[in-house]
Amino acid sequence: EAGVAQSPRYKIIEKRQSVAFWCNPISGHATLYWYQQILGQGPKLLIQFQNNGVVDDSQLPKDRFSAERLKGVDSTLKIQPAKLEDSAVYLCASSLVTSGGSYNEQFFGPGTRLTVL
């Protein structure tokens, strides 16, 4: 079974530039998450999709970050304009949606390391 794919793996940009990250989840996983992981911290949720609908984007800085999941499969996360504090690893994860009360094991991609200069 193929895992979660992300690209690019690394990106270096200057502040105020824009950048986009791509994620392809495990086939059949309805739920997709984007996390931000700053060095030395645990992953922090940015946005969560179920199929192509947004479930939770309460921690997404909407003035500069946007995300979409067209057709309920691949997803793109965009930052425009980037700030220095956006330097982090952006992780994509997916999980199966099961009936209520089930645990949510998440499968993570390798991440995209973003450096903003």
* Radius of gyration for the chain, computed over Cα atoms and rounded to the nearest angstrom: 14
> Any bridge partners for residue 56, and if so which?
48
CB burial class (10 A; 0-12, 13-18, 19+) of residue 100?
exposed
Residue number, 8 or 80, with CB nearest to another protein: 8
CB of 115 to another protein, least distance (A): 14
Cβ of residue 117: shortest distance to another protein, in angstroms? 20
1 is a contact residue toward another protein (CB under 8 A): no
How many angstroms separate the CA atoms of 61 and 46, rounded? 8
Task: Please say whether the beta carbons of 58 and 65 come within 8 A.
Answer: no
Note whether 94 binds another protein by CB under 8 A: no
Shorter beta-carbon distance to another protein: residue 16 or 44: 44
Residues forming contacts to another protein in the complex (CB under 8 A) are 4, 30-31, 33, 35, 40-45, 48, 50, 55-56, 91, 93, 95, 97-111, 113
